[in-house]
C-alpha cells in the first residue's frame, strides 16, 4: 500500500473523541442494542442437550403475552379498597440465571420485542446503563420517567457493588409499586457452575424486598460464542493492524495504553457514543491492564462494542491475558470473564479485515 493511499484513508481515533451525551439520549437509547435488534424467540436455537433452554423460551413467551393488558398501576391501587384480600398475584418479574454465552441477553431482548406495547412503553438496558441514567436524571426523575412503562429489562445485573445494588433495588421497588413488570439477567460465576441456583440466590438476596416479584429461570449450557467455533485468531503484528485500519472505512486506530488513559477521562455513560459510526476498532500494543479501575472501564467499553457488533483487531497480547490472576479471582471476576468472552468473539469477527 502506498504512503499516499494511507494518508488519504487516515483512520479515526477513539482517543480524539470526547462525546457529550444529553440525558434524553440515554432514555431514548434504552432499547435492545443493534446486535439484538432482530432477535426473537424463534431465532433462539436451544441446545438439544439442555432442556432448560427450551423451557425458558416457553416461560418467557407466556410472560410476554401476559403483559398485553392495561398498565397495572390502577389495578394495584384499587386493591387497597377491596374488602377481601386479593389472591396472590403471579410474579411480575423474571430472572434469567445462567452462565456465560447461554443466550440470556438474546432471550431478554426477545422478551422486549414480544411484549405487546409501544417501544416507548418498554425499556431495555444494562445495569450500568440504568445506574448512569439515575446519575444523569436523578432518582426521582428516573422513577417518574420509567413508571409509565409496561416492562423494564435489565441485562447483566451486577451484584458486586453494594451501593449500586441498593440504589437499583430501591428504584425497582418504586417501579413495581407503579405496575412495571421486570426482567433481569446476571451471570453464574465460572467457578460456581453446577452449583444449582447460586446466581439466583445471590440476586434474590440482594433485592430482598423484591424477591417475591421474580421467578428465577435457570438456563444451563456452554458459551455459544465458543460452541463448535474456531479459536479466536492470535494477535497480529502492529503493521498488519495499522494497514487494516487504513484500508477499512470507518475504522479507528489507537495505541492500547493511550486508549486506556483516554477512557479515564470519559464517563462510562458516554462509551456508547464513543463508538458511534465505527466499522471496526484497531488496537496496537495490547498489554495487561494495570489496575482494577482501568479494567472496569475496559469492561464497559467491551460491552458497548459487543452490543454494536464492532469487530476488534489487535496486536500485542491475546485478550485472555488482559487481566491478572488476582483480578480473575477477585470480586469483579464475572465482569472480566464476560469481557474476555466478548472481546474474543469480536476478534474472531475482525479476522476478515486482514489481507491474507
Domain 3-19+236-353 has CATH 3.40.50: yes
The pLDDT value given to residue 31: 95
Whole-number pLDDT of residue 98? 81
What pLDDT, on the 0 to 100 scale, is given for residue 228? 55
Distance, in Å, from the CA atom of 231 to the CA atom of 226, rounded to the nearest integer, reads 8
Residue 92, pLDDT score: 82
For 6, 111, 220, 265, 354, the CA distances from 185, given in Å and listed in that order, are: 44, 12, 13, 29, 36
Regions in the chain scoring below 50 on pLDDT: 1-8, 73-82, 85-88, 189-198
Give the span between the Cα atoms of 151 and 226, in whole angstroms: 31
Residue intervals of the chain classified under CATH 3.40.50.300 are 32-226
| 129 SS3 class | helix
Q: What is the pTM of this model?
A: 0.76
Say whether 321 sits in a helix, a strand or coil. helix
- The 8-class DSSP code of residue 33 comes to -
Contact between residue 93 and residue 250 where contact means Cβ atoms under 8 Å apart: no
Is the C-alpha dihedral spanning 327, 331, 335, 340 positive or negative? Answer: positive
Model confidence pLDDT, tens digit, residues 33-67:
888 999 999 999 998 999 999 999 999 999 999 99
CATH entry 3.40.50.620 includes domain 32-226:
no
Amino acid at each position: 500500500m502506498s504512503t499516499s493511499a494511507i494518508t488519504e484513508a487516515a483512520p479515526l481515533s477513539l482517543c480524539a473523541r470526547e462525546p457529550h451525551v444529553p440525558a434524553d439520549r440515554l432514555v431514548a437509547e434504552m432499547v435492545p442494542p443493534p446486535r439484538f435488534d432482530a432477535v426473537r424467540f424463534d431465532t433462539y436455537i436451544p441446545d438439544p442437550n439442555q432442556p432448560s433452554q427450551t423451557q425458558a423460551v416457553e416461560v418467557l413467551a407466556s410472560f410476554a403475552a401476559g403483559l398485553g393488558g392495561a398498565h397495572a398501576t390502577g389495578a394495584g391501587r384499587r386493591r387497597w379498597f377491596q374488602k377481601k384480600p386479593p389472591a396472590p398475584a403471579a410474579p411480575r418479574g423474571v430472572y434469567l440465571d445462567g452462565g456465560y454465552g447461554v443466550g440470556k441477553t438474546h432471550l431478554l431482548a426477545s422478551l422486549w420485542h414480544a411484549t405487546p406495547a409501544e417501544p416507548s412503553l418498554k425499556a431495555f438496558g444494562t445495569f450500568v446503563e440504568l445506574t448512569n441514567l439515575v446519575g444523569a436524571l436523578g432518582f426521582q426523575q428516573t422513577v417518574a420517567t420509567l413508571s409509565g412503562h409496561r416492562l423494564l429489562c435489565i441485562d447483566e445485573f451486577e451484584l458486586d457493588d453494594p451501593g449500586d445494588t441498593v440504589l437499583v433495588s430501591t428504584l425497582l421497588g418504586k417501579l413495581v409499586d407503579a405496575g412495571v413488570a421486570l426482567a433481569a439477567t446476571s451471570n453464574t460465576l465460572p467457578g460456581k457452575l453446577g452449583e444449582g441456583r447460586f446466581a439466583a440466590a445471590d440476586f434474590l438476596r440482594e433485592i430482598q424486598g423484591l424477591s417475591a416479584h421474580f421467578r428465577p429461570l435457570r438456563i444451563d449450557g456452554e458459551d455459544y460464542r465458543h460452541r463448535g467455533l474456531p479459536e479466536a485468531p492470535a494477535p497480529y503484528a502492529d503493521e498488519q493492524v495499522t494497514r487494516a485500519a487504513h484500508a477499512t472505512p470507518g475504522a479507528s486506530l489507537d495505541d492500547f495504553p493511550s486508549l486506556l488513559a483516554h477512557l479515564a477521562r470519559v464517563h462510562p455513560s458516554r462509551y456508547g457514543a464513543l463508538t458511534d459510526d465505527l466499522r471496526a476498532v484497531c488496537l496496537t500494543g495490547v498489554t495487561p491492564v494495570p489496575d482494577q479501575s482501568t479494567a472496569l472501564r475496559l469492561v464497559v467499553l467491551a460491552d458497548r462494542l459487543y452490543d454494536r457488533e464492532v469487530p476488534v483487531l489487535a496486536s500485542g497480547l491475546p485478550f485472555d491475558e488482559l487481566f491478572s490472576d488476582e483480578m480473575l479471582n477477585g470480586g469483579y471476576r464475572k465482569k472480566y470473564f464476560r469481557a474476555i468472552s466478548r472481546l474474543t468473539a469480536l476478534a474472531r469477527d475482525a479476522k476478515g479485515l486482514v489481507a491474507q
